[in-house]
Amino acid sequence: MSQPGPPESVAVMIVTSEGQAEQTPFSYFAEQSTVVVATDSGAALQLLRTAANQARIYQLLIIDGRAGVENFAGLASRVRKISGTETMKIIMLQDGLPTSTEREPDIDFIVLDPLPPQRVGQILRQAGVTVGLGVESRIPASSPGEVGAVLLVEDDVVNRRVAATMLEVLGLRVGTASDGAEAVAAVEVGGWDLILMDCLMPVMDGIAAAREIRSLPGNQRDVPILAMSANISEVDVAEITAAGMSGCLSKPFSVDQLAEVIGPWFTELKPRGGAAHQSESDSTVSTDDVINDEILGRLSERLPPDRMARLVGTFLEESPKLLDRMTAAIDREDFDDLRLASHSLKGSSSFLGATEVTELARQVEGKSQQPDTCMPVVQETVAAFLRAQRALQRRFPTALRAD
């Protein structure tokens, strides 16, 4: 990596703590002769002034604002006072999305760490930065045959993995966000053809996130948004329409149902009628009252066995965490968290046909404003999950080893 100083062709500056440049998503710049690293604000400002005086303009300034890294807050506004920096793009790398009062107006792009490598090139292209794109081969490109990019916004781990797997099976590239605030930040970066947005999430719900996205500058505010909900009958259609959403997808859904809904935006989706996959135990396990095999079959018939086992394993690992969270929420009378946790369990169990768990979780969600009446139902839900766990393990013996 080059040392601080005004080289003949200066293009990129990374402002970060000593030894941290290789830890940024832009670390592939480190081997380029066009990169300068500054380890404090004073050095960065001096280098920029020197370059400007010599008519050498940086194309890009990356400021590392992650937790545990020296605080460079306010640096961008000081940089903008230097003549010749008007066309330079400034990226701030952060662990989390800043509040409206924390956001600095002189920052062009806020990038959340961790950042998938394939997104780096998209950010640079959107910023109009040409330097460094010669190393584009190091950035994983879209796979051959991909028909588009979908941002999947879902707080529940199981639901997120199920939907992402389905989208990938349909030939789509998938990015994920776990709440509305992360979704807005991802849309600001750009590159999405469609957004699938859960309605009920912590931090910022789907309706609020859609409104934020529609108020963004630039073309990304126009990306189509489809709401997802496990309570489609309770979704206010007028509200999602007013928020700028194009429709609503009811959970749980199959690969074919998903393809039908998103088809208008992707004319080259992979064929929906591909060969069905046989689960690990299709021929030996019969339907019981704990698992609805018709629902489970609609999911598993279009997924490779290893992917299906991985989904089941995730459900078996994540559900006890949700049950513990529900119990803790009752103890501290946290109505909102009780509602969110039971809503997540309801959605994930419905995808896998665990109908008994789904119904009990729905009851808890409905009683979430009366936690004193919920504990017996939560205890019933724990017992129902244990029954579902045994039934799913009989069907998918390798589930807990899938990851």
Q: What is the pLDDT of residues 39-77, one digit of tens each?
A: 788 888 888 888 787 777 778 888 887 755 666 778 888
Topology classification of domain 305-401:
Four Helix Bundle (Hemerythrin (Met), subunit A) (1.20.120)
Architecture of the domain made up of 149-274 = 3-Layer(aba) Sandwich (3.40)
For residues 30 and 340, the model is more confident at 340
pLDDT tens readout for residues 257-300: 899 999 888 877 765 444 444 444 443 344 456 899 998 988 88
Alpha carbon distance 316, 389 (integer Å): 6
Whether the pLDDT of residue 27 is over 60: the answer is no
Q: Please determine whether the domains at 12-138 and 305-401 fall in the same fold group of CATH.
A: no
For strands 225-229 and 247-250, give the pairing: parallel
276 DSSP 8-state letter = P
Burial of 268 (0-12, 13-18, 19+ CB in 10 A): exposed
pLDDT tens readout for residues 110-136: 777 666 555 566 566 666 665 443 333
Tell me the range of 14-18, 271-275, 354-358 where mean pLDDT is highest.
354-358
pLDDT at site 15 = 85
CATH number of 12-138: 3.40.50.2300
Residue 334: both structure tokens together? 């946290």
Q: Output the pTM of the full model.
A: 0.61
In three-state secondary structure terms, 91 is strand
pLDDT tens readout for residues 367-389: 878 767 889 999 999 999 999 99
Alpha carbon distance 399, 305 (integer Å): 10
Query: Where exactly are the structural domains of the chain?
Result: 12-138, 149-274, 305-401
What's the mean per-residue pLDDT of the chain? 78
Q: How confident is the model at residue 13 (pLDDT cuts 50, 70, 90)?
A: confident
